[in-house]
Amino acid sequence: MRKKYFVTAITSFLFILFFAFVQFVLVDKEENKEAVRVGFLYVGDAGTPYTNNFIKAQNDIKKQYGDRVEIIVKENIAEGNEEGALNELVNEKCKIIFSSSYGYGNTVKQFAEKNPEIEFCQATCSNANEEPFLENYHTFMGHICEGRYVTGVVAGMKLKEMIEKDQITPQEAKVGYVAAFPYAEVISGYTAFFLGVRSIVDTATMEVQYTNTWSNYRIEKNVAREMIEDGCVIISQHSDTTGPAVACEQEKGSREVYHVGYNQSMIDVAPTTSLISCRINWSPYCLKAVEAVMNDKKIEDMFGSGVNKNDVGAGFTDEWVELLEMNKSIIAAGTEQRVENCIKALENDSLHVFVGNYTGTDPFNPEDTYDLNVEYKENETSSAPTFHYVLDDVITVREE
């Protein structure tokens, strides 16, 4: 009997020693594992809302993975000057590089071809699935048309309230849009916003003016002011400063005018006029892409939906698109419930953005038109927007 107990004790002791050894080896191996170097290439810095949204994703990566990652940042790199910064990130042995600006796309893809051991993730581009197809080059973007549409609904609810209070007539429901460039991304965005407005007020019209810059406070503010003088009672924007919001706030009192922002909440600078803003949340993609590199997995295999070869995108589902603070002191009654219903409908695919009794024309090719009685399925083949038609009769593009 004693022999039996002795054998059992020895066996147990050896098992404990073996288990402790395995744990020691695994922990030691994990502790000595070299941190994954993660590179970020930014067109701006924390002072620009667009770049700051990427910095939020960068910070989420550090928060999630701690010492398992080392983050290297190159900021304020103007489009066309990215080659030097990319060389530095490659030489610093980054395993994955996120590049934030559309204009970097061609150069980043060339670097991906030369450096197949590094994963290159390019935001807002649509060239990942074009030839040459590279396993290590990826594109990604949130389906921001959904956010634009919903903020358009908020604006439409305010217009409806203004009409009901006899502050404007239905024919005076005019919206202005400060737009950066006549790119598909911008046209898609302002069209989605306008269709959201029109879902509430079907007499609404919109005028658009391009600033030909992503970020110029003075120009954006002046364009917004001109639109207000031209009779626009709500101003929105696809530009990166608070200029349009400030213009609305300064006009408040002399006339009834409101604002819808982008990339950041603008309520702090326009507390009596800014209704809401929306933004793309870059964290869901960036976190999973880094996780994939850590575990030697294909990036696109980390996502359950929205994948098209080496391109990934999503909307309100999975929180790729976010509404920012709603200004409850000035939004119209019933807005919050309307917004909640709208988001649910987008998530369950019972609401589609680009559909209605409208026709649109390509501003650069009058022969290229589209009848929205047949739905245009935005983001069906690309996470980057492709809708590029200006709606006839209801949207007017102002000349500079």
Look at strands 365-371 and 359-362 and give their pairing: antiparallel
Q: Do domains 32-143+282-314 and 144-281+318-397 have the same CATH topology?
A: yes
Residue 13 has pLDDT above 80, yes or no: no
Residue 361 has pLDDT above 70, yes or no: yes
Confidence of residue 99 (pLDDT cuts 50, 70, 90): very high
| Domain definitions of the chain by residue range | 32-143+282-314, 144-281+318-397
pLDDT at 19 over 50: no
**What local confidence, expressed as pLDDT, does residue 137 receive?**
98
Ordered alpha helix ranges (H), the chain: 2-32, 49-65, 82-91, 105-114, 144-164, 184-198, 217-229, 243-251, 283-294, 335-347
pTM above 0.95, yes or no: no
What CATH class is the domain 144-281+318-397?
Answer: alpha beta
* 397 has pLDDT over 60: yes
pLDDT of residue 41: 98
| pLDDT above 70 for 98 | yes
Q: How far is CA 143 from each of CA 160, 261, 279, 305, 387, rounded to the nearest angstrom?
A: 27, 17, 10, 13, 12
- Best CA proximity match to 177, nearest among 261, 267, 296, 274: 261
Residues 6 or more apart whose Cβ sits within 8 Å of residue 305: 314, 317
Of 37-46, 47-56, 248-257, the one with minimum mean pLDDT is: 248-257
What integer pLDDT is reported at residue 254 of this predicted model? 85
Residue 399: per-residue pLDDT:
83
Per residue in 164-189, pLDDT (tens digit) is 999 999 999 999 999 999 999 999 99
> Which tens digit of pLDDT belongs to each residue from 150-169?
999 999 999 999 999 999 99
* Radius of gyration, CA atoms only, the chain: 25
Tokens of 52: 């700051």
Q: Would you state the pLDDT for residue 145?
A: 98
Mean pLDDT throughout 360-376? 98
pLDDT of residue 28: 41
Lowest mean pLDDT of 4-18, 54-68, 95-109, name the range: 4-18
Q: In the prediction, which pLDDT does 25 show? A: 39
Distance CA 153, CA 143 (A): 17
DSSP 208-232: EEE-S-S--HHHHHHHHHHHHHTT-
Q: Which range, of 17-31, 85-99, 215-229, 315-329, averages the lowest pLDDT?
A: 17-31
Q: How is domain 32-143+282-314 classified at the CATH fold level?
A: Rossmann fold (3.40.50)
Q: What is the pLDDT of residue 253?
A: 79
Average pLDDT, the chain: 93
Do the beta carbons of residue 377 and residue 188 sit within 8 Å? no
Instruction: Tell me the mean pLDDT in the region 302-312.
Output: 96
**317 pLDDT higher than 70:** yes
DSSP 72-126: EEE-S--TT-HHHHHHHHHHTT-SEEEE--GGGHHHHHHHHHH-TTSEEEEET--
232-270 pLDDT, tens digit each: 999 999 999 999 999 999 998 788 999 999 999 999 999
